[in-house]
């Protein structure tokens, strides 16, 4: 498959990445780099490979979602000869990414301190639960840091913390890892040296709630959960149409309110008590039932056409599977073809990036365990130290 785009080569073409990863955070980092053109070589254990391949329930889609455009090599980090081969492979790389427990790879001689002495230009990205500090050796999960950061508190209804409906910290933590890698590649152009990059789940969750923290710092009042309905805007809710469709409508500026009231032509909305966003926000307990009554007289298609023509934010409430039929995502490369391990064809959303008129595509489908072992390791040539190790063993 092509490694170029309409405007020329892919941005990270020529960059080699070694990926030691499982689950979501590490693989999502590798995915960003791979889609941008890097050669990402995923190192899997012998036999069935990465256990993420075989997760069920909410983990069923993890491997398929984050493993396109990657090559697979199988080597055993507990085997001395395989570790020697890994070291030779890493010598050819620009970047190493990993998201295993703290110290896990270092115990096998594959930590940053050891590798940087051997390969000073190597950029080593560790994706962890916590950055440096009192928590750095704790084990973390996306749900753990959502609870710790207040994100779950802000998501659920009062008194019922609820994790977000996707692994947002794992995926964003991987994204920030990729940003760090790209920044380190640029810095290496200037210094000639690689460095250690770390991305943390907890710190990512704290970043996500930073607006709520500053709201409290500015007002002196702790913000209530988002589900409590205390919005900064008067109309920013889900309404039920006359044909039973749940439709979100947002009116977030005074200009939008003017358009909204003009298009609806409902005299009740022209009352001076709704004249500014501040008044509308303060009067939500009265305003929202009124708007529901007025919107509830119209069907969904009518309201959608009204909002789209007027430039007002709106959305039907859908399920993730509905996106397979979304006309916008299916236009212009927004959905990428993917072959599942059982041979079935499906598709997956592309990275939310566009270069000019071009979206990033698929160069390699999902690799089978060890599919590229012979190709990658064969290119390394014979190991000059193999005979010495055999003799000493």
Between the alpha carbon of residue 53 and those of residues 23, 41, 65, 160, 241, the distances in Å are 9, 16, 11, 33, 42
User: Please, are residues 143 and 129 in contact by the beta-carbon 8 Å criterion?
Assistant: no
Point out the catalytic residue in the list 35, 50, 142, 170: 170
Between the alpha carbon of residue 63 and those of residues 30, 197, 342, 369, the distances in Å are 12, 24, 13, 12
Tell me if residue 170 is catalytic.
yes
Token pair belonging to 58: 């909410």
Between the alpha carbon of residue 139 and those of residues 44, 231, 269, 326, 377, the distances in Å are 22, 35, 53, 38, 33
Cβ of 62: how many Cβ atoms within 10 Å? 20
Residue 206 CB partners (closer than 8 Å, separation 6+): 149
Token pair belonging to 156: 């659920």
Cα–Cα distance, 353 to 182 (Å, whole number): 16
User: Please, are residues 131 and 145 in contact by the beta-carbon 8 Å criterion?
Assistant: no
Provide the phi-psi class of 244: left if phi over 0, else alpha when psi is between -120 and 50, else beta: left
Catalytic residues: 170
């Amino acid at each position: 498959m092509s490694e170029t785009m309409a405007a020329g080569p892919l941005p990270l073409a020529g960059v080699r990445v070694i990926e030691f990863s499982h689950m979501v955070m590490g693989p999502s980092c590798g995915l960003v780099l791979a889609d941008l053109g890097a050669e990402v070589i995923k190192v899997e254990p012998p036999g069935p490979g990465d256990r993420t391949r075989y997760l069920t329930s909410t983990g069923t889609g993890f491997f398929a979602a984050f493993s396109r455009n990657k090559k697979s090599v199988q080597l055993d980090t507990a085997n001395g000869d395989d570790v020697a081969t890994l070291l030779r492979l890493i010598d050819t790389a620009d970047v190493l990414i990993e998201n295993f427990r703290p110290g896990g790879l270092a115990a096998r001689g594959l930590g940053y301190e050891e590798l940087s002495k051997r390969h000073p230009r190597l950029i080593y990205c560790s994706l962890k639960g916590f950055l440096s500090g009192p928590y750095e050796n704790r084990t973390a999960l996306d749900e753990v840091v959502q609870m710790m950061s207040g994100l779950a508190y802000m998501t659920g209804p009062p008194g019922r913390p609820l994790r977000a409906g996707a692994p947002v910290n794992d995926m964003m933590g991987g994204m920030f890892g990729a940003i760090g890698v790209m920044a380190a590649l640029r810095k290496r152009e200037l210094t000639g040296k690689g460095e250690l990059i770390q991305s943390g789940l907890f710190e990512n969750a704290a970043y996500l709630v930073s607006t709520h923290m500053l709201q409290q710092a500015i007002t002196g009042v702790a913000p209530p959960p988002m589900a409590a309905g205390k919005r900064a805007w008067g109309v920013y809710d889900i309404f039920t149409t006359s044909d039973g469709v749940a439709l979100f409508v947002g009116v977030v500026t005074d200009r939008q309110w003017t358009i909204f009231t003009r298009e609806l032509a409902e005299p009740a909305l022209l009352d001076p008590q709704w004249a500014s966003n501040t008044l509308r926000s303060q009067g939500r307990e009265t305003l929202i039932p009124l708007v529901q009554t007025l919107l509830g007289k119209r069907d969904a298609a009518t309201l959608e056409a009204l909002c789209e023509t007027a430039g007002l934010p709106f959305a039907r409430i859908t399920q993730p599977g509905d996106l397979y039929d979304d006309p916008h995502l299916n236009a212009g490369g927004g959905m990428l073809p993917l072959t599942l391990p059982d041979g079935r064809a499906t598709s997956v959303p592309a990275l939310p990036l566009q270069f000019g008129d071009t979206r990033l595509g698929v160069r390699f489908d999902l690799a089978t365990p060890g599919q590229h072992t012979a190709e990658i390791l064969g290119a390394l040539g014979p190991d000059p130290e193999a005979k010495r190790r055999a003799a000493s063993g």
